[in-house]
Structure 1
Amino acid sequence: MASALEYAQKAGELFTLPDIVIRLQDLIESDSASMTDISEVVMLDPALTAKILKLANSPLYNFSSQIDTVNRAISVIGMAELFNLALATSAVSAVSENVKGIDIDHFWQVGVHCGLIGRELASSCKVRKKEKLFVAGLLHDIGQLVALDNNAELTQQVLADTSGTSPWEKQQELFGFSWAECGAELLQLWHLPEDLWKPIAGQHTLKPTDSEEQNLFTAIIHIASRAANQSLSAALPEEKQFDYTATIAPEAWKITGLQVDQLEEAVGFAQMEAINVISIICPSSATVY
């Protein structure tokens, strides 16, 4: 049986990030790169520039004045956050055009909801890297697309399962690993930072690490992913519905210190703003929302 890494390596030949994202990452990690250097790279891609400026002017940030240049976006949002927005929009494009056999619109709707819920929960937890939680939430189930590319038959078996078994347990049973592990392997192949892919990898197991921040990020994605799937489950046939919120681990509440009403507020925010974010990041999915 193939491993999660082997699946990711094969899918990685199809799912590749645009060169512009790699260049941005190199610049941001460089000690000598200036705001102008980063702006010039972003502006080489007019579509990416437009999406970033639309996101910067969306309710995600709720700035009082218009953000009308990339330089202004960087100065207000920050270099790392701008990279995360570029990564989010580019990752959606990188994989969507190569996916067949699932409802990709529903897939990204769940991802955007998870990202928005994760970002709001991060605010409640006083996390500074909120945009990283948004991206981790957006990509929390990208391993499903990796699995689909490698073995469409087994993937469809998981999606069609009506036994009441949790999806991640069914994935473990059929694949020998969860799609969360598989997605994390792909993000590692993309050379993305640990604090982005590790919360995705551990979202179902919540295995403790030496990093309190990582444990917190993982617990936030654990809660957000279940809440997002629950929020959109009404759109699925009744036989495919599953009580995701019942699987939120008590340990996740303990790690985050969150209360149920804070989660309900985050879900409400996501339900209000998801259509705006979807229309920017993956406009084709917004048409059927």
Structure 2
Amino acid sequence: MKNVNDYAKAAGEIFVLSDSFVRIKELIDDEQSTIDDIADVILLDPALVATILKLANSSFFNYPGKIDTISKALLVLGINEVYNLVIAFFTNRTFKRVNVEQDYLDDFWCKSVDCALIVKYIGSKLNIPNAERLFIIGLLHNLGELVVQQISPEKILAANNFSSPQLPWEKQHHELGFTYGECSAELLKQWQLPYSIIEPIRNQDNSDFSYSTDDTKLLYLAKRIMLSQFDCSSHPIELLLSEDALQQLPIDENTIQEAINFCDLERLSMLAIINPGTAMIF
């Protein structure tokens, strides 16, 4: 039986980020690089340029002026935030190659975007510094599902076939020996993404909060709020969000409902940018 490292290694050979991504990452990691150096590489990919500018000018960032060049995006949003947008773009492009029905993929990205919007909203509400970075954590939190779908499609039906009171990650562990979150983290490790992205994703299903960072706690909560609107809509909310979990961060039922409302408002515009085909189904 394959373990999580076997899946991640196989996925790392199938889902390879492009040379452009690798070059951008190298420049961002190099303290000698300038904004113009990074912008020059981004400009080589017109689709990437268009996506970054659309996101930079969206209500997601709520910047009062017009961002019409990549150099300005890097200056206004910051190099790290533009790097997060680059990760989102290339991840979506890479996983377009997955062998799966389009409806399945559309549903996957819809739930991923919802989780990303919810975690970003709650982070902003709690005044977490640079909360926009949380969006990428939410967006990538479940990539492991696509990995399993590609490598062992026969296991997906069993892993995704659960009902209350069983929780999704419990069924995944029962069928696979690991969760989608753990598989996601191992793939992102193969891609050499930052530890600050990998660790919250790795620990998203860990209900022992003793050593959890705020980012991990936020993803834990956001994922469950998202699932309450989708795959776990028939589960009692107490199963998804225990009293102990809710006490980890100062949020209440009003904050949760506000996050869901924010998601409903922003979902279509975000899908239209990140995964345009998905937005057509709504």
| Alpha carbons 1:229, 1:244 under 8 Å: kept | no
The answer to whether the 8 Å contact 2:164/2:235 transfers is no
SS across alignment from 1:133: helix
CA pair 129-113 structure 1, distance change in 2 beyond 3 A: same
1:246-257 residue pairs with structure 2 within 5 A? 246=238, 247-257=240-250
Show structure 2 runs of 5+ residues with no match. Answer: none
Matches of residues 49-64 of structure 1 in structure 2 within 5 Å? 49-64=49-64
Q: What does residue 223 of structure 2 align with? A: 225
Change in Cα spacing, 1:132 to 1:249, as seen in structure 2 (3 Å) is farther
Distance in 2, matches of 1:205 and 1:129, equals 24
Separation of aligned partners in 2, 1:125 and 1:100: 38
Counterpart residue identity of residue 72, structure 2: R
Distance 1:128 1:59 in 2: 18
C-alpha distance in structure 2 between counterparts of 1:253 and 1:156, whole Å: 31
Q: Classify 1:227/1:185 alpha carbon distance in 2 versus 1 (closer, same or farther; 3 Å).
A: same
Match of 1:37 in 2: 37
TM (norm. structure 1) is 0.91
How many angstroms apart in 1 are the aligned matches of 2:146 and 2:242?
26
Residue 85 to residue 161, structure 1, CA distance change in 2 (3 Å):
same
Contact 1:42/1:48, CA 8 A, preserved across alignment? yes
1:271 is matched with which residue?
264
Cα distance, 1:37–1:199 mapped onto 2, change above 3 Å: same
Measured in 2, the distance between the counterparts of 1:155 and 1:91 equals 21
Q: Distance in 1 between matches of 2:184 and 2:236?
A: 20
CA 1:72 to 1:275, structure 2 compared with 1: closer, same or farther past 3 Å? same
Q: CA deviation at 1:129?
A: 3.3
Following superposition, the deviation at residue 95 of structure 1 comes to 0.8
User: Where does residue 236 of structure 1 map in the other structure?
Assistant: none
Query: Are the structure 2 counterparts of residues 252 and 41 from structure 1 closer, same or farther at C-alpha, using a change threshold of 3 Å?
Result: farther
Q: Report the alpha carbon displacement of residue 103 of structure 1 after superposing the two structures with TM.
A: 0.8
Q: Which amino acid aligns with 2:188?
A: L
Unaligned runs of at least 5 residues, structure 1: 234-239
Number of corresponding residues? 280
Shift of 1:254: 2.5
* Offset, 1:100: 0.9
Deviation of the 1:35 alpha carbon: 0.9
The CA deviation at 1:29 is: 1.5
2:252 alignment counterpart: 259
> Aligned partners of 1:137, 1:223: CA distance in 2, in Å?
11
Structure 1 ranges of 4+ moved more than 6 A: none
How far the C-alpha of 1:17 sits from its partner, in A, is: 1.4
Q: What do the CA deviations read for 1:73-100 (whole angstroms, capped 9, x no partner)?
A: 1111000000001111210111122231
Q: Distance in 1 between matches of 2:35 and 2:244?
A: 41
Shift of 1:241: 4.7
Which whole-Å CA distance do the structure 1 matches of 2:135 and 2:50 have between them?
A: 19
Contact kept? 1:8, 1:182, Cα under 8 Å: yes
Letter in 2 for 1:221: L
Deviation at 1:209, TM superposition (A): 6.2
**Change beyond 3 A, Cα 1:153–1:191:** same
Q: Distance in 1 between matches of 2:75 and 2:135?
A: 20
**Mean Cα deviation higher: 5-14 or 241-250:** 241-250
C-alpha contact 2:98 2:146 (8 A) present in aligned 1: no
- 1:74: which partner in 2? 74
Deviates more, 1:252-261 or 1:37-46: 252-261
SS in structure 1 of the partner of residue 14 of structure 2? coil
TM-score (ref. length: structure 2): 0.93
Please tell me the root mean square deviation across aligned C-alpha atoms, in Å.
1.8
- The correspondence of residues 1-289 of structure 1 with structure 2, limited to 5 A, is 1-101=1-101, 103-162=104-163, 164-208=165-209, 215-233=213-231, 241-243=233-235, 245-246=237-238, 247-289=240-282
Conservation of the 8 A alpha-carbon contact between 1:180 and 1:200: yes
Amino acid corresponding to residue 278 of structure 1 in structure 2 = L
Letter in 2 for 1:170: K
The 1:244/1:184 distance shift into structure 2, 3 A limit, reads: farther
Deviations 1:15-53 (A, max 9, x none): 121222222222112111111111111111000000000
User: Does the aligned pair in 1 maintain the 2:227–2:233 contact within 8 Å?
Assistant: no
